[in-house]
């Protein structure tokens, strides 16, 4: 039997391609969501099914064909066709593309879409706010647990209330609705499931340099401790950050590592934990200086301040105030596979860290000792000035 996987655009028959219309006309049976089948009731045998497994099972029972499966938008754009194809076995399958909500909505807004980041927050694990934060233009499919209004509220809460938002509801239907405004202005609005969002961010977060380690002079420092540029670069390499990671920086000081992590993981979240009032003020100032709204400053002492934080993928320990063992316990209770990087400048901290890392039998465990010597002017000449050696320990839990 031949099976057509037919992208029907938004759902209104007016958005069908000629090839899709011909395949529908040829099909003896149509399957798909109720709203997509509605225009063909009375002239075709219509079977309302949504799950790929149900559709595939039903097709196996049909005694005549071809069968046409109606799929919203385009068959290659977050489509049910992806799951359905492998379930059809040796059946002859013909995929027919349709007009996606992305191309339709951007056409309605008279804007190109080739430069847009594309995100699906419809029934999927996602970090849409983080993706919008790092993108000048982003298109988001909403629905399920994340509706357009929820997304606007989350953006406003993250400090991105000035992001320009366009929301499209029931695209292509007679009651189509397009609303524009800022994220803060639309945060109180109510939108339905069939909605898409185009977000324009005037200040996307981006790293100025391709490599890590901003110059020390780029940060406001005051009297708070700071992980210096050379050590910071190596520590960031050991963290092995990915764009969507959740990161804890414990004993954050001025926040130099926190800021670097926020820039390296723009679609993730960074939590800078610090107890000293002066350092907390500097953290907030450096957060504003670099525009990293995915950085959250947490006032308090670890391990107590860690209890309410989401499970980390990566943790940098710049200062533990003697509570290293307790902090590691919290980390690995939250995420047994977390990767931890620690810097030590005293023999006592080094000895404690070696013991704690060894007790947990961390995977890929490593210790490196780094000694940096920099020049300083002495009249018309320059002398070498050795800095204190630093040990960098890293390893990750065994899930």
What is the domain partition of the chain in residue ranges?
2-99, 102-200, 216-396
Domain 216-396 class in CATH? alpha beta
pLDDT score for 205: 80
Per-residue pLDDT tens digits for 352-385: 999 999 999 898 889 999 999 989 899 999 999 8
Thinking of the domain 2-99, which architecture would CATH place it in?
A: 3-Layer(aba) Sandwich (3.40)
Range with lowest mean pLDDT among 122-136, 346-360, 378-392: 122-136
Q: What is the mean pLDDT of the chain?
A: 91
Q: How far is CA 377 from the centre of its chain?
A: 46
Range with lowest mean pLDDT among 155-169, 181-195, 200-214: 200-214
pLDDT score for 304: 94
43 exposed, middle or buried (CB, 10 Å; 0-12, 13-18, 19+)?
Answer: exposed
Listed residue (387, 393, 362) closest to 372, CA to CA: 387
pLDDT score for 146: 82
- Exposure string of 4-36, with b = 16+ CB inside 10 Å and e = fewer, is bbbbbbbbeeebbbeebeebbeebebbbbbeeb
Range with lowest mean pLDDT among 132-141, 143-152, 164-173, 265-274: 143-152
Residue 133: band (very low, low, confident or very high) from pLDDT cuts 50, 70, 90? confident
Dihedral of the CA atoms 282, 286, 287, 292 (nearest 10)? -160
Two structure tokens written together for 82: 């992806």
For range 204-223, the mean pLDDT: 78
Thinking of the domain 102-200, which architecture would CATH place it in?
A: 2-Layer Sandwich (3.30)
Is the pLDDT at 336 greater than 90? The verdict is: yes
pLDDT score for 323: 92
26 vs 4: CA distance, rounded Å = 10
List CB contacts of 246: < 8 A, sequence separation 6 or more.
268, 269, 270, 271, 310, 311, 312, 313, 314
Is the pLDDT at 144 greater than 90? The verdict is: no
72 vs 87: CA distance, rounded Å = 19
Two structure tokens written together for 120: 């699906």
Is the pLDDT at 395 greater than 60? The verdict is: yes
For range 326-347, the mean pLDDT: 95
332 vs 361: CA distance, rounded Å = 12
256 vs 272: CA distance, rounded Å = 10
pLDDT score for 123: 54
263 and 277 Cβ atoms separated by less than 8 Å: no
Range with lowest mean pLDDT among 96-100, 124-128, 196-200, 270-274: 124-128
pLDDT score for 3: 96
Is the pLDDT at 125 greater than 60? The verdict is: no
Is the pLDDT at 214 greater than 70? The verdict is: yes
pLDDT score for 74: 95
Is the pLDDT at 89 greater than 60? The verdict is: yes
For range 40-48, the mean pLDDT: 93
For range 293-309, the mean pLDDT: 93
327 vs 314: CA distance, rounded Å = 13
> Which of 89 and 6 is assigned the larger pLDDT?
6
Is the pLDDT at 216 greater than 90? The verdict is: no
pLDDT score for 225: 81
Per-residue pLDDT tens digits for 4-21: 999 999 889 999 999 999
Is the pLDDT at 267 greater than 90? The verdict is: no
Taking phi first (over 0 means left), then psi (-120 to 50 degrees means alpha), and beta for anything else, what does residue 296 get?
Answer: beta
List CB contacts of 188: < 8 A, sequence separation 6 or more.
149
For range 62-66, the mean pLDDT: 90
Range with lowest mean pLDDT among 30-39, 126-135, 207-216, 381-390: 207-216
62 vs 68: CA distance, rounded Å = 12
Is the pLDDT at 283 greater than 80? The verdict is: yes
Quick one: what percent of the chain has pLDDT higher than 70? 97
Q: Write the secondary structure of the chain as one string of H (helix), E (strand) and C (coil).
A: CEEEEEECECCCHHHCCHHHHHHHHHCCEEEECHHHHHHHECCEEEEECCCHHHHHHHHHHCCCCCEEEEECECCCCCCCHHHHHHHHCCCEEEEECCCCHHHHHHHHCCCCCCCCEEEECCCCCCCHHHHHHHCCEEEEECECCECHHHHHHHHHHCCCCCCEEEEEECCCCCCCEEEEEEHHHHCCCCCCCCEEEEEECCCCCCCCCCCCCCCHHHCCCCCCCCCCHHHHHHHHHHHCCCCCCEEEEECCCCCHHHHHHHHHCCCCEEEEEECCHHHHHHHHHHHHHHCCCCEEEEECCCCHHHCCCCCCCEEEECCCCCCHHHHHHHHHHHCCCCEEEEEECCHHHHHHHHHHHHHCCCEEEEEEEECCEEEEEECCEEEEEECCCEEEEEEECCC
């Amino acid at each position: 039997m031949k099976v057509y996987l037919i992208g029907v655009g938004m759902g209104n028959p007016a958005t069908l391609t000629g090839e899709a219309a011909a395949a529908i006309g040829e099909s003896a049976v149509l399957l798909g969501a109720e709203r997509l089948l509605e225009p063909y009731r009375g002239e075709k045998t219509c079977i309302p099914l949504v799950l790929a497994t149900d559709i595939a099972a039903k097709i196996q029972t049909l005694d005549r064909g071809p069968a046409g499966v109606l799929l919203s938008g385009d068959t290659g754009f977050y489509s049910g066709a992806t799951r359905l194809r492998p379930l059809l076995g040796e059946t002859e399958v013909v995929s027919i593309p349709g007009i996606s909500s992305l191309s339709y909505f951007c056409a309605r807004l008279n804007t190109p879409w080739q430069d847009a980041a594309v995100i699906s927050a419809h029934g999927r694990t996602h970090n849409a706010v983080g993706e919008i934060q790092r993108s000048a233009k982003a298109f988001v499919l909403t629905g399920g647990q994340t509706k357009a209004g929820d997304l606007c509220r989350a953006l406003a809460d993250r400090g991105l209330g000035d992001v320009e938002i366009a929301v499209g509801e029931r695209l292509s239907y007679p009651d189509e609705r397009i609303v524009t405004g800022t994220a803060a202005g639309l945060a109180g609005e109510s939108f339905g499931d069939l909605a898409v969002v185009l977000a324009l961010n005037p200040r996307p977060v981006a790293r100025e340099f391709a490599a890590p380690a901003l110059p020390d002079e780029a940060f406001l420092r005051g009297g708070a401790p700071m992980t210096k540029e050379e050590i910071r670069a190596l520590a960031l390499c050991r963290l092995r950050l990915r764009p969507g990671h959740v990161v804890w920086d414990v004993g954050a000081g001025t926040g130099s590592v926190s800021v670097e992590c926020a820039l390296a993981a723009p679609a993730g979240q960074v939590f800078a934990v610090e107890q000293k009032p002066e350092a907390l003020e500097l953290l907030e100032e450096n957060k504003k200086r670099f525009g990293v709204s995915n950085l959250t400053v947490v006032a308090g002492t670890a391990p107590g301040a860690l209890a309410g934080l989401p499970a980390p993928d990566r943790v940098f320990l710049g200062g533990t105030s003697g509570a290293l063992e307790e902090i590691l316990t919290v980390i690995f209770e939250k995420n047994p596979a977390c990767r931890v990087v620690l810097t030590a400048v005293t023999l006592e901290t080094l000895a404690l860290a070696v013991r704690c890392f060894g007790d947990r039998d961390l995977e890929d465990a490593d210790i490196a000792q780094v000694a940096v010597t920099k020049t300083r002017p002495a009249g018309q000449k320059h002398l070498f000035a050795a800095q204190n050696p630093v040990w960098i320990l890293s390893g990750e839990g065994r899930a």
